[in-house]
Structure 1
Amino acid sequence: MDNRYNRQLQLPGFGAEAQQKLSKARVLVVGAGGLGVPVLQYLVGMGIGTLGMVDGDHISLTNLHRQVLYSTLEVGQLKVEVAAQKLAQLNPEIRLNSYPTHLTPQNALEIMEGYDLIIDATDNFEARYLINDACVLLGKPFVYGALHQYEGQVSVFNLEGGPTYRCLYPTTPSAQEIPDCNTAGVLGVVPGLVGLQQALEAVKVLTGIGKSLSGYLLMLDYLNQSQYKIKLKANPDNQCITSLQDSYAVASCTTVPEVTAAELYEWVGNGKKMLLLDVREQDEYVQGHLQKSLLTPLSVFRNQMEHLPQHLPIITICQKGSRSRKAAEMLLENEAAAEVYSLAGGMEAWQTQLRNKLVVK
């Protein structure tokens, strides 16, 4: 066995048997961002046999304060492609599988089926409920991690009859209940600390050492350096899932009309008169935006609404669709009769479906 693992092999209760289990394990990490980066680095370093990475995002400048696997020169490149190159250098013995896409109800079961353990390193509720339901259907455990500003949560779900994510949060929250990390912020080191806890739980589940967090939710407050565990109770009804939902989109209390990337592309091609408002921050905007779109960050959007023309249809645009919905809601609250649309899935959906058509960098 490669002597790169000597320090682990010397541990009482670990040894060659546990290392062998790691070398045979197949782990899928959904998300190669703030949580995913430390998970990927440490699992590769520790000798996981096969590691899959699912992420359709490109590296942005705002990622770098917490996603320290990437560099400034790599801004704009696909995360999974850059990660695969660097992780292969860290440990060439590992088999790496890259999936440069977002997990969807259409591809989740096919991608996840070949893995022993799933790690949820995402940053949104839609993905978490999708991962949960797919794991229940496939009979696979998953390691959960989430964060907000200075705080984090970690647990293990669907392990040997233990609680699922729906035992913690039975139903999807509304859009108004969801904190937006783009405006709430996050301290750079916090995702790293939460991701390390997830990597630790993955190793415990795979090797059988120690006691996992199955049945408990670990609450972490890094600002005050405190933590505690909440005991979770399994609800057998949450195992009664027969299929994935068609969509896991978070419901909004305000009905905002949406336009798909394909529809908007057709509108532009037909010469439809409209106003495109990009509500992301400037550093996101300069990395790639639609032609003739105006930068109107959500952080200052309310102050600028009164200066917008009222006679044109307005399409709001962001990275994934959440901020654009909020901007559209503000416009409709101000003028209920306005013709307003939010770009469904944001620039990520546009570039997934249409690549760089009409995109200015």
Structure 2
Amino acid sequence: MSFQQSFSYRNADRQRSAFHSRALKGCLWACGALAAVPFLAPSAAHACQTECTPRTALMTAYTTEIQPLIKATKDRHEYRIQGVRFTIGSLNGEPVVVFMSGVSTTNAAMNAQRVLDQFNIKQIVFSGIAGSVDASRNIGDVVVPSRWANYGESLYARETDAGYQPSTTVRKAGLAAYGMIYPRLTDVLSARSRNKEERLWFPASESLLALANTVNGVALESCASATQCTRDKPVLKVGGSGVSGSIFMDNADYRDYLHDVFDAQIADMESGAVAQVAYANQVPFIAFRSVSDLAGGEDDQNGKHIYSSMAANNVAAVVCAFFKQLSASPLSASKV
């Protein structure tokens, strides 16, 4: 190798070394700069990937719940994303995207986040049926809780000779246990804080609850057929607590436990999960639920197969009235 070739190789090595050194410093600087940022901006900055008109998301879990709402939606246009059908349009003057999340907490959380990522969502409204865990809430009633908990977030304690012994390393919610089942707090990671937050309750929007309180005069159905009618005339109730879990609740004793310990009025399989997604994304949320069954409190069999359509019609009627109020209010997605 000539002196000239050796010099050229050494020079190239020095240049590569200098380049990698600058790149490393740049990376370290960027990482340090990012570390100095306490948390990302609120996720209201989500990029709308599919359609960007400001809209209110209207969610249901399954077909019986969505049918009357789709029928009431005008100027419909449909998108299919990852197997989910999203229908955009206008419901009583409010720009909406209406869709089914699928049944249960995982589907509900996954598709609540999906609608936030794909569309320009200003608030989320859930409409569906539920089981009553409060003796004062009857078949056909429409309930709009002010807060939601995920009761399925629990510790199942090991059984010993001394009884059930819950792990001391698992943070429990401080509520009474049901046998081996100890309610836990839910971990939340979000733009609200750089640190993990632990919560039991996820709130509905105070502004949307106040608007729901202005809904009145909605005629609620009492009969599923000529021979199958509710004992009491259905009513609309705004406020109180709701609970959710990936469990179809049909047990009288556990029903009483949910009411006594969580002070819950109704139990369903989706709302608490959507409330958590909305909370993490700092998006206003409210859920309307009509009672289709007594979650195990019936004398003979669960009444959902009898009253689900009637309950779905009742909650849809209230939600449509709510959207009429919403479209005329400052909370409308068209005015935000």
TM-score between both structures, scaled by the size of structure 1? 0.26
Q: Which has the higher contact order (CA 8 A, sep 6+)?
A: 2
Q: Which has the higher helix share?
A: 1
Q: Which has the higher strand share?
A: 2
